[in-house]
């Protein structure tokens, strides 16, 4: 399957990747807060295709939508129907306050998260006045994109983008509360805040099953 995909990509059948093998969506995003953010900016991707994908086939960039400005996602096998997190960072120098390792550990701690997690290895951070997440192939073709509206940005809830962008709500679509961390910009009593989000989980099983079925049917028709 992987080899066939590579040959098809070289031959220029980009639509196969976009519509079939790599049916990946951006299903959640965190763009940061005023003051201490808890973690770096991040997004969640979900594989709605029928086969596992290697995430290193994608480059991330923000609204500049450019492989040259972006970063190649770390390599993970993402099974059909599974979600994972990518932390947006190009910041891994020996003297940086945050390294790739510490950014991942910070996320795992704050979200009590033990699922798959990777780094974008570049690409712009997500602005709180509105931005956009792009997943691109190496030839700069767009696989999928997701706007992060300023109206939903900067709050204590992540942006759930599985259907249309909304603020994550505790208990809805698997959203839960992060551990509390220090932030003295938001004026919360005690300066300890927690976030609401659903890293690693998306609405299941109904919507995913239906979308996956549609992808499978499409793939069969093309044979």
- Part of the chain binding Ca ion (CB under 5 A), chosen from 6-14, 26-34, 136-144, 209-217: 26-34
- How far is residue 96's CA from residue 33's CA, in Å, rounded to a whole number? 20
- Is 167 in contact with 155 (CB distance < 8 Å)? yes
Asked if 39 and 106 touch (Cβ cutoff 8 Å), the reply is yes
The residue range among 47-55, 102-110, 129-137, 147-155 that interacts with Ca ion, by the rule CB under 5 A, is: 129-137
Task: Compute the least distance from the CB of residue 159 to Ca ion, in Å.
Answer: 10
* 175 contacts Ca ion (rule: CB under 5 A): no
Q: In what order do the strands lie in the sheet with 24-30?
A: 117-119, 83-87, 42-47, 24-30, 159-160, 166-167
- Token representation of residue 112: 């009590």
Q: Which of 17, 21, 28, 65 binds Ca ion (CB under 5 A)?
A: 28
Q: Does 153 bind Ca ion (CB under 5 A)?
A: no
> Among the candidate windows 1-9, 17-25, 89-97, 118-126, which touches Ca ion by CB under 5 A?
118-126
Options 8-16, 97-105, 127-135, 139-147: segment touching Ca ion (CB under 5 A): 127-135
Q: Work out whether 127 is an interface residue with Ca ion (CB under 5 A).
A: yes
Quick one: 17 or 65, whose CB is closer to Ca ion? 65
Task: Give the contacts of 150 (CB within 8 A, at least 6 positions apart).
Answer: 127, 128, 129, 130
Residue 106 sits in the site that holds Ca ion (CB under 5 A): no
Site string for Ca ion, 30-69 (x = CB under 5 A): -xx----x---x--x-----------------x-------
Rounded to 5 degrees, φ, ψ at 159 are -95, 115
Any idea what the Cα angle at residue 159 is, between residues 164 and 32, rounded to 5°? 150
Closest C-alpha among 187, 126, 129, 196 to residue 166: 196
Q: Based on the shown chain and the rule CB under 5 A, indicate whether residue 198 belongs to the binding site for Ca ion.
A: yes
Which chain residues interact with Ca ion by CB under 5 A?
Answer: 28, 31-32, 37, 41, 44, 62, 124-127, 131, 198
């Amino acid at each position: 399957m992987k080899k066939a995909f590579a040959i098809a990509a070289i031959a220029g059948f980009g639509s196969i990747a976009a519509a079939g093998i790599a049916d990946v969506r951006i299903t959640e995003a965190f763009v940061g807060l005023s003051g201490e953010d808890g973690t770096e900016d991040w997004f969640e991707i979900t594989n709605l295709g029928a086969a596992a994908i290697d995430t290193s086939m994608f480059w991330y960039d923000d609204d500049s939508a450019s492989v040259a400005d972006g970063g190649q996602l770390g390599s993970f096998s993402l099974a059909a129907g599974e979600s994972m997190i990518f932390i947006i960072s190009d910041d891994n120098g020996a003297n940086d306050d945050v390294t790739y390792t510490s950014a991942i550990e910070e996320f795992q701690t704050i979200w009590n998260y033990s699922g798959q997690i990777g780094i974008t290895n570049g690409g712009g951070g997500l602005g709180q006045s509105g931005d956009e997440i792009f997943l691109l192939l190496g030839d700069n073709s767009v696989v999928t994109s997701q706007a992060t509206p300023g109206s939903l940005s900067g709050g204590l809830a992540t942006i759930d983008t599985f259907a249309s962008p909304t603020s994550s709500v505790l208990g809805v679509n698997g959203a839960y509360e992060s551990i509390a961390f220090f932030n003295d910009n938001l004026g919360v009593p005690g300066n300890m805040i927690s976030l609401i989000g659903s890293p690693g989980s998306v609405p299941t099983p109904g919507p995913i099953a239906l979308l996956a079925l549609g992808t499978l049917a499409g793939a069969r028709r093309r044979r």
